[in-house]
Amino acid sequence: MASRGVTDPTQALDALLAELTRRGSPLANFLEPGLPAGQVEARLAKLGAEPHPDVIKLYAWHNGFDRFRVPVSENGFVSLVPFQEFNPLEEVAEVYVEWRQRAESEGATPVRHRDGLWRTIDPEDMWSRRWFPIFQGAGSEVIFIDNRDGSAGSVWRHPVQDSPHRLYGSLAEAMDSVRQALMDGRLQLDRHGVVTHKSYLASGLEI
């Protein structure tokens, strides 16, 4: 179970990386240097995004990893979060734009509802400007941080074929959950430093 006392995302990210390194993960060698917070803010503002401050802190911590160089094994690839790519900001910005354009396109097309009336769907309900992706999973699945009123800072999973669902109350809580799973042995790394499929499936992790 995640520690309720962890609230600072940078502290939680550092602690998770330290635990991964202690257990043999070489991830630290493949993380890109963090970006200045002002640069991250300016880039996201240019996209029209309204991200939660934890998004800024994440890319100020490290600007993703080099997925073309990280070690791989039969279990997958070395990662911060099991089976999720932590990609550089510019790549994730493209993902945000794709999801937002899709929402605006579909929102412009009237849909017939059960009452027989035709209405358009608000793009904000499909992909909000206040949602920003931070990790990418299999296919088009993304993990994003919400910045809407009432759920600001919460971490969600958005499968491409389903509605998004909430995973954790904050980025710090999500990262600490992974660290705790490593510490109590629910998550195991193979000799390459990759989380094993078997341990992940049995771990009970939401992310």
Q: What is the DSSP string of 30-59?
A: GEEEPPPHHHHHHHHHHHT----HHHHHHH
All structural domains of the chain? 9-203 (3.40.1580.10)
Q: Report the run of H or E that residue 76 belongs to, with start and end.
A: strand 76-77
Q: Report the run of H or E that residue 156 belongs to, with start and end.
A: strand 155-158
- pLDDT tens per residue across all 207 residues of the chain: 444 567 899 999 999 999 999 999 999 999 999 999 999 999 999 999 999 999 999 999 999 998 889 999 998 999 999 999 999 999 999 999 999 998 888 766 777 778 777 777 777 888 899 999 999 987 678 999 999 998 999 999 998 778 899 999 999 999 999 999 999 999 999 999 999 999 999 999 988
Sign of CA dihedral 91, 93, 94, 100: positive
Its pTM stands at: 0.90
